[in-house]
Amino acid sequence: MYFDPMYFVFALPPMIFGLWAQWKVKSAFGKYANVANSTGYTGSQIARRLLDSQGLYSVAIEATPGDLTDHYDPRGKVVRLSESTMYRNSVAAIGVVAHEVGHAIQDAESYVPMRTRAAILPVANIGSILGPYIFMLGLFINMFGLALLGLLLFGAAALFQAVTLPVEYNASNRAMRLLVDNGLVTSYDAGMARQVLDAAALTYVAALLQSVSQVLYYAMLLSGNRRRDD
């Protein structure tokens, strides 16, 4: 193995985009975390109202440690909210919690991309961890089939990121419709909440770009290695 400048040609642009996306979401959340929403409801109160409006009375709401660690757990049927959203009545909080409620509704409706993502997850987890090692081992011992297996395994991780995009964008769109339909936002609130959700979506775009760039780099290495053997 040797240092390859071409790696940075593939990896650097998505890495920079990823750092910018992280800054964007933290900046948007930080900006609107100090702006009270028009209803005065906390994140947990908003979440409960939205869930109940969709008949999801059995979906629980729990606190989870950290900041921006909010997520929906489909196995436990639980919306878990960080302290920065659960107990605060900010515009940022209502956007985030509505997004997680959007995932709960996707789960209840058996939203196909969400089911597809869940089906891919086990292979994607294995691929993201073992794929690069298997690929590099295959290159090192000059075994094309093993390297190709590593590439395909890591490709599953990229596929997972690709399927994640429509899941996340759909959850955000549902979130905004839910907030409006239930009278929980004014047009002023909605615009700010939308900015938070749009910024958060960029992180998923960044994850996809990083995975795809890695797959393309591996494919270039494998193709070059095959030509040398021929």
Answer yes or no: are the C-beta atoms of 64 and 78 closer than 8 Å.
no
Which residues are identified as catalytic? 100
Torsion sign (Cα): 174, 175, 176, 182: positive
Of 132, 127, 133, 125, nearest to 214 by C-alpha is: 132
Answer yes or no: are the C-beta atoms of 27 and 92 closer than 8 Å.
no
Beta pairing partners, 78:
60, 73
Tokens (6 digits) for 61: 């709401």
Distance from C-alpha of 183 to C-alpha of 157, rounded to nearest angstrom: 39
The residue whose two tokens read 């390297």 is 147
- Phi/psi at 4 (5° precision): -120, 110
